[in-house]
Structure 1
Amino acid sequence: MDRRDVERLPGMAGLTQGADHVDVHTMEGTGSVADVAAALLSHRPGWMVFLWKVRTVLLRLLGQGGRIVPEPARLTGATLPKSVGDKASFLTVIRSDGESHWVAGAGESHLDAEVGVVAEPLAGGRSRFHVVTVVRYRNPAGRIYFNVIRPFHHLVVDSALRAALRRGRNGDQ
């Protein structure tokens, strides 16, 4: 999916403007945008905690200061913050209509990033879920950092999206 396609998704118009990196992970399943976004933010297996710790070391090496590993979110579709400006774990809600899309972002010294979850309804109560990641580098350290972690970013998003859709299929909210 290219940037023009992302921009055509519900709630995504203008999101990719000025972006240095855009990617989309797509899977089909059941549940709502809020269920999937909450499950994405709540997914934190041990290997992901390890990657957060490696991230902290990498950012220190790049001169971007100390970071902490954020506590995992404990969210459900019902408790997911949906109003613009609300905090959802380490992210701040940027846009949400409560049904077709939910977008949140975070800014750090080295980059700004947004993550969006979009649902396209399909037949039989299923949806095609898109997890959109948009990154803008603030300085050269941001470019270096993101290109080092990019393969892990894809692994994390795929794993979290699969877990979110399994969670919805099993009714674990």
Structure 2
Amino acid sequence: MIPDDYLKSIPDLAPLFAGADHVDVKFVDAPMDLRLFLARFMTYRPWWLVLLYRARAVLVRMLGMRQESVPLPEITPESVSFTPGDPCHFFTVTCGRDGEYLAAHHADKHLRADLLVAREWMGDGINRFHVGTIVRHAHWTGPVYFALIRPFHHLVVTMMMRAAVKA
């Protein structure tokens, strides 16, 4: 199976892949539900990630963009929303179905990023969590910015997934 096939098989998520400039999908298996995985995934904030975000602020200014301070509330499994338009960390919920999948997006001057997370039942109490990132460039600075952060993006998403299943 191609990594993004499972996400594309979900009717609400499939259209989000159209016109993408970048797609990556990773997965991890764990004996937990989607709400717990999302809460742990979205609230992962080690010191080195805070430093990367500060370094990002310098890059953003060099490209003529702004990095606004976004409050990052704690997310509990009970507070995860699947309702379109609701906040989900610094994203906005696009669509979702409790226990099955969540799509959220963040749009900026330079790009739009969609985060997709879906649960696939594997049996014996194990779920596979597919985590997808879809990027669309909105300005000439989009591909420049994403080329510079892409290696860190892969590291950050992988570490967020690991932390979610080990916490």
Does TM, scored on the shorter chain, surpass 0.5?
Answer: yes
The correspondence of residues 1-173 of structure 1 with structure 2, limited to 5 A, is 1=2, 6-9=7-10, 11-64=12-65, 66-167=66-167
Question: Could you report, residue by residue, the CA deviation over 1:34-78 in whole angstroms, capped at 9, with x for unpaired residues?
Answer: 2212211100101001111111111110111x2134343311211
- Quote the Cα distance in structure 1 between the aligned partners of 2:166 and 2:12: 25
Structure 1 residue 15 displacement after superposition:
1.3
Give the 3-state SS of the residue equivalent to 2:77 in structure 1. Answer: coil
Report the TM-score, using the length of structure 1 for normalisation.
Answer: 0.90
Unaligned runs of 5+ in 1: 168-173
| TM-score, reference length from structure 2 | 0.93
CA deviation after TM superposition for structure 1 residue 2, in Å: 5.5
CA deviation string 1:104-130 (max 9, x = no partner): 111000000010111100111111111
Cα gap change, 1:12 to 1:127, in 2 (>3 Å): same
**Aligned with 1:15: secondary structure?**
helix
Q: Alpha-carbon deviations, 1:132-170, whole Å to 9, x = none? A: 000000011010101110010000000000011112xxx
- The whole-number CA distance in structure 2 between the counterparts of 1:73 and 1:88 is 9
For 1:113, the aligned partner's letter is A
| CA deviation map 1:2-31 (0-9, x unaligned) | 555541246422111111000001111121
Structure 1 contact 92–105 (Cα < 8 Å) conserved: yes
**Amino acid across the alignment from 2:166:** R
CA distance, structure 2, for counterparts of residue 27 and residue 147 of structure 1: 25
Alpha-carbon RMSD across the aligned residues, in angstroms, is 1.6
Percentage of identical aligned residues: 34
Separation in 1, partners of 2:14, 2:52: 32
Letter of the structure 1 residue corresponding to residue 162 of structure 2: R
Q: Which amino acid aligns with 2:144?
A: I
